[in-house]
Amino acid sequence: MPLMPAEWEPQDRVWMAFPAPGYSLGETAAEADEARTTWAAVANAVLGFEPVTVVVDPSEVAAARRVLSSGVELVEAPLNDAWMRDMGPTFVHLDDGSVAGVDWVFNGWGQCDWAAWDKDSLVGSLVCERAGVERIGSPMVNEGGGIHVDGEGRVLVTETVQLGAGRNETWTKQQVEDELARTIGATDVVWLPRGLTRDYEQYGTRGHVDIVATFTAPGRVLLHDQRDPSHPDHAVSAALRELLAERFEVVPLPAPATLRDADGWTDWSYVNHLVVNDGVVACSFEDPHDAEALAVLREAYPGREVVTVDARPLFDRGGGIHCITQQQPRGRA
């Protein structure tokens, strides 16, 4: 049976996609430059720890080569957007220790009216082929940002994602759990009722778990901790803490002190980090809580170097560092 390993297990490489013409690049040259340089900053940071492969739309190859380190491998393929965690495969180990990729149905986060996915829906299969791993097809609409695992069969999901409108709204919880068991070896599915407030507005995923909570060890969960009662996520954090504390050790990870941006309540989150070999690539926001959050991450991942990238341009576009990356685990002997 396939089993999705924890993100802190050894990795072969990280997969990303480069912003393509459209929403991510924006409407101005300045917006396009900001997107390219931010995605590149993440790729170049990861390259300090392990290999990186970036899928690039043919129209953006020259731009990608200008900002990406020479050691980053490029793969040309048509793209709509650049959220590899969600459109790419979820990698798992098979019984013989080899690696396979689960290719979910990707439909623009539940057929959002602003999204296009005719090209991105093919990326999962492409990455499996280029990685040289078996592809495991799935009929379930799902995204990699909608699941977090502990490597022992436990998985965090959100009711408004896996059972949400435009995704699998006719499915039962049991059907979702059965498919997660078949594809990623889930034996214990922990259902969160919802995600962060901003994530339900335009350009949101409607509840991805990877900006809310993540495992850092079996039995231990880092939880987005919005401490300011004026922010609507204060109540969300409290409810999730109560639910998760029944099962796990819950470690609070402070939300940034910045409560609002130009578009409303922020959903900036330090939970949305990437664990790599010997390191962590974390979001920073030039925020008063950056230092405290990084200290929590260092304690959560002892022995790993924590490096940061300013993630505000990513969150302006709907996600963070974890959202634009997908780790490929090393095969087991």
Positions marked active-site: 323
- Residue 175 CA to residue 181 CA, distance in Å, equals 10
- Residue 107 CA to residue 194 CA, distance in Å, equals 20
- Residue 168 CA to residue 164 CA, distance in Å, equals 6
Helix (H) or strand (E) holding 73: strand 73-76
Contacts of 274 (CB under 8 A, 6+ apart): 7, 14, 42, 46, 280, 281, 282, 321, 322, 325, 327
CA distances from 225 to 89, 195, 235 (A): 29, 12, 10
The amino acid at 298:
R
In terms of phi and psi (left: phi > 0; alpha: psi -120 to 50; beta: otherwise), the region of 196 is beta
- Residue 147 CA to residue 158 CA, distance in Å, equals 8
119 within 8 A of 80, measured Cβ to Cβ: yes
11-17 sheet: strands from edge to edge: 73-76, 52-56, 11-17, 325-329
Cα dihedral 49, 51, 56, 60 in deg (nearest 10): 60
215-246 exposure pattern, b = at least 16 Cβ within 10 A, e = fewer: bbbeeebbbbbbeeeebebbebbeebbebbee
What is residue 92's three-state secondary structure? strand
